[in-house]
Every structure is written in C-alpha cells, then in structure tokens.
Amino acid sequence: MMSRAERSHLGDWWWTVDRALLAGLGVLMTAGLVFLMAGGPPVAERLGLPTFHFLNRQVMYLLPTIALILAVSFLSLRHIRRMALVTYGLGIVLCIAATKYGPEIKGAHRWIQFGSIGVQPSEFVKPAFVILAAWAFAEGARRRDMPGGTLAVLLLPMTIVPLILQPDFGQTMLVTMVWCAMVFVAGLHWFWVGGLGGAGLVGVAAAYEFLPHVRARITRFMDKDSGDNFQTFWSQESFSSGGWLGTGPGEGIAKRHLPDAHTDFIFSVAGEEFGVIICIGIVLLFAFIVMRGLVLARRSDDIFCRLAITGLTALFGLQACINMAVNVRLMPAKGMTLPFISYGGSSLISLALGMGFLIAITRRRPRTTLLNRDEGLAH
C-alpha cells in the first residue's frame, strides 16, 4: 500500500486518481472477456478460425489498452490538449483517406489498411474532438479576444462531414449528440438548444431521404415485414430464451445465427446465456461510470475540465446506450460496439484514449495548479 507521504509520480498519481472509475473500467473489461468466451467461438468456427481466436486476440488488445489508459492518465492538462490536437488532425486526414482508399465493407469506407492491420480512424477522432471542443468553449469563456465559441461550432462540421462521406451515420449522430450535451453545459440558452435539436431532426430526415442504407434500416425497424430483420429477430429471441437467469454458459442458440455475436450483438449473447439479471447489472455498471463522471464534472471549478469530463462521459455513455438499445430493438441497427465488452482493436484502443483522458482530467489537482495554468495561457 502506498503512503500519502511518498513523493513520486506513481504515489502522486495513486492518491489523486479516481479509483472508483478505474475499478468500474476494470470490471467492464473482465466482463467483456467472459462474454466473448461465450459469443466468440461460434463466429470463429463459421470463419474457419481456432475456437478461441477472438478471445485470444481480445486479451492481446487489452494489454496495450490498459497500458494506454494508465500512460495517458499521467498527462497534465496541457499535454492532454496537445495530444488531442495531434490525434484529431491525423484522424481526420485518415478518415478522408479511407473514403478514397479504404476497403468497402457493407457499403461504407470506414477502415484504412496499414499492411495487415486495419484501423477505423473515426474511433480516434471522437475523444480528441471532445477535448478540442471543450478547449475552444473554455477559452471563449475566459478571454473576450478569443472566438472560442465560433471555433467550437466550426469543429462540428469539420468532424462530421468526413464521417458522412464514408458514410457513417451512427458515428455522426453520436458526435453530434455529444457536442449538443457540451453546448448545453457550456451555458447556451434553451432557445438555441431547441434549435440544435430541430437541426438534428432535419439531419435525420435528410439522411432518410438521401442515404439508401439509412432509409432501409429505419424502414425495417418500423416495419418488421419490410425487409431482412435476421439479426434483430435473433437478438430478441436470445433475451426471450435466456429469461431472468439465462440458459448457462455455452448453452445459447441465438449466437450461432448472429453474424456479429462477438461485436455489435454481444449484449444479446450475454442476455441468453447469463440472463436478464446480469444484463441489468451491466447496465447499472455503465450507469455508475457515467454518473461518477458527471459528479466529478459538477465538482470541478475549471471550465475546461467540466466540459471535457461531461463530453467524454457522454461519449462513453451514449455509445453504450445505442448498442444496448439496438440489441433490445429500441433503435434501428447501428454498427456500434459496446464499450470494453465488444471485440475490436480500434474500438478498444480509442476507448482507452478517451478513458485515459477522463481519468487524467478528473485527477484531484491543487487549485494553485489550475491558476498557474491559466496565468500561463494568458501570457
């Protein structure tokens, strides 16, 4: 056990970090391995891969994930902003490159290949976007000569236009909702919040009208008999057959029919084999992490910290909500992973970056540190 008197980087980190957040993330990662042990083998067998191929790969991905969370959590606020700026710039460039040179998967160009390694750059843009938007809003509030609000507004189209070109309507919707949450916390009048909501509805209507794959998904969601509802049927069936206590590990049937049982629909696999009670526990775990983040945001006296914590927490929570809502058929199908539970390298590493930012920003810092930081910015 570390002593409070120990004056080292590790000792300072341990006594200033929010250990409840760390524990919640650790439990999520562990649960993800357990669920992947159930949902991964059938998919691996269909693809002619070793039975525990996806589980073994997930363990490999978790090692750099944990290392990245810990490394980023040591950064100062200044270094967090610099890292976010570099990540955002590279991510946007790669998103644009993916639209031209990336492979077409399910009608979209969202990935870019580096040899045998595939990367989804939009995943890394999201946490960096939150940090930059929070920075712009905060600087606009501190300095009258700084057009921070205008920069924060311009950041949104700069981010979502490359996503729409891919096209990736799900990530576009997620980024927009997170940005609106930050705008609300930044103190925008209710009139403008309502206006943003109306603009969002217009955007959804435009996507329905001009993007065939969006129209098809919404139509299938509204009318079960209008098209192929294979995945949503089996995801619902998994909860029905699992009941409250589940069929037992390895006894599920739906996972043998779900092509994305290890990624987008792993929550359904958990519902069938481990029961609705365990799924409710997972929902409560996500809710705990989100509420913990919001409580820490409310306690912060620094505008940038408050906005960044809110944005990162909203990003994490909304992504989880969208995935789980799709699994229980409360939303049209979206290609969005369940944070730290679904299989995926790009998803895990980008989540590690976002949660590393969150843990670093929520660390308890003496008020003199923030004041000195502000004076340094002023000069």
pLDDT > 90 fraction of the chain, expressed in percent and rounded? 37
Q: Summarize the confidence of residues 329-335 as an average pLDDT.
A: 76
Contact 216, 245 (CB under 8 A): no
Query: What is residue 217's predicted lDDT score, i.e. its pLDDT?
Result: 67
Flag whether pLDDT at 368 surpasses 50: no
Residues 6 or more apart whose Cβ sits within 8 Å of residue 82: none
Q: What is the pLDDT of residues 290-327, one digit of tens each?
A: 999 999 999 888 899 999 999 999 999 999 999 998 88
Alpha carbon of residue 47 to chain centroid: 27
Range in 35-44, 45-54, 239-248 with the lowest mean pLDDT: 239-248
Its sign, for the CA torsion 10, 12, 14, 18, is negative
CA-to-CA distance for 143 and 141, rounded, in angstroms?
6
**Cα radius of gyration rounded to whole Å, the chain:** 21
Q: Tell me the pTM.
A: 0.87
Most confident listed range (94-98, 168-172, 256-260, 364-368) = 94-98
Q: Summarize the confidence of residues 16-33 as an average pLDDT.
A: 92
CA-to-CA distance for 149 and 184, rounded, in angstroms?
13
Does a structural domain hold residue 53?
A: yes
Does a structural domain hold residue 144?
A: yes
Query: What is residue 340's predicted lDDT score, i.e. its pLDDT?
Result: 92
Does a structural domain hold residue 127?
A: yes
CA-to-CA distance for 209 and 113, rounded, in angstroms?
31
Alpha carbon of residue 94 to chain centroid: 19
Total domains, the chain: 1
CA-to-CA distance for 104 and 167, rounded, in angstroms?
11
Query: What is residue 233's predicted lDDT score, i.e. its pLDDT?
Result: 72
Does a structural domain hold residue 237?
A: yes
Does a structural domain hold residue 370?
A: no
Flag whether pLDDT at 127 surpasses 90: yes
Domain that holds residue 258: 23-363
Contact 249, 38 (CB under 8 A): yes
Query: What is residue 105's predicted lDDT score, i.e. its pLDDT?
Result: 75
Does a structural domain hold residue 332?
A: yes
Query: What is residue 24's predicted lDDT score, i.e. its pLDDT?
Result: 94
Does a structural domain hold residue 134?
A: yes
* Tokens matching residue 337: 């992973």
Does a structural domain hold residue 2?
A: no
Average pLDDT, the chain: 83
The CA-based dihedral angle spanning residues 352, 354, 358, 360, taken in that order and rounded to the nearest 10 degrees: 60
